[in-house]
Amino acid sequence: MLWAGWRSEYIANAGKPDADGCLFCRLPAGADEEALILERGSFGFTMLNRYPYTTGHVMVAPFRHIERPADLNADEQAELWRLLGNAMNAIDEAMHPDGYNLGANLGRVAGAGVPGHFHLHLVPRWSGDANFMTTVGDTRVLPEDLTVTWTRLRAPSIRSRDASRE
C-alpha cells in the first residue's frame, strides 16, 4: 500500500474552478515559504508544484496573466528562461537528477490544471524512478515533504539567481 494523503486535496478539487481566482496571480502576494516560491524576478517567479509529479517538480510562471507563450513580451521571455535555468541549477545542486521533463499544458484539453495562465513545468527524473505509478494507479511516489524540498532548493535557488545576475 502506498499512502499519498496530501493528494486528497488535489483529487477533491480536480476540475473545480479556483474560488480565489488564478493561482499564479494570487500566490505571489503571499510569503515565499507558504506559497512555495523559490525565486522571484521582475516579470515572473519559480515555485514548487504543490501536487508534484516527482520531488523537486517546479513551475515557472510570469506575473502577468497571459494564456500562451506567444503573448510574452521579450523581457518576460528572457526572464522565464533565466528562472528556468536557475531552477535547474538549484535542483542539480540539491538533488542530482539524471534528467528532466520540461513542458507546458496549454488549455484544459491539453491537461492544464490552471488554464489561462501560461506556465512551464520542470520535472526532475532519476533512473528507476517510479514514473509508472501514475499510469498504474494514479499514484505518485515522493520521498519527502514539500517543506523539506522547499528548504533544500531555496539556498541553491538564491545562489543560482545571484550567479545569473553577475
- Catalytic positions are 119
93 touches 156 (CB < 8 A): yes
Strand ranges of the sheet holding 120-125, from the earlier edge strand across to the other edge: 37-40, 44-48, 58-62, 120-125, 99-103
- Could you tell me the three cell numbers for 69? 507563450
Helix boundaries (H) for the chain: 7-13, 23-26, 32-35, 74-95, 132-137, 146-164
C-alpha 44: how far from chain center: 12
Q: Are strands 99-103 and 37-40 parallel, antiparallel or unpaired?
A: unpaired
**Which residue type does 86 have?**
N
Neighbouring CB atoms inside 10 A of 74's CB total: 7
Max CA separation in the chain (angstroms)? 49
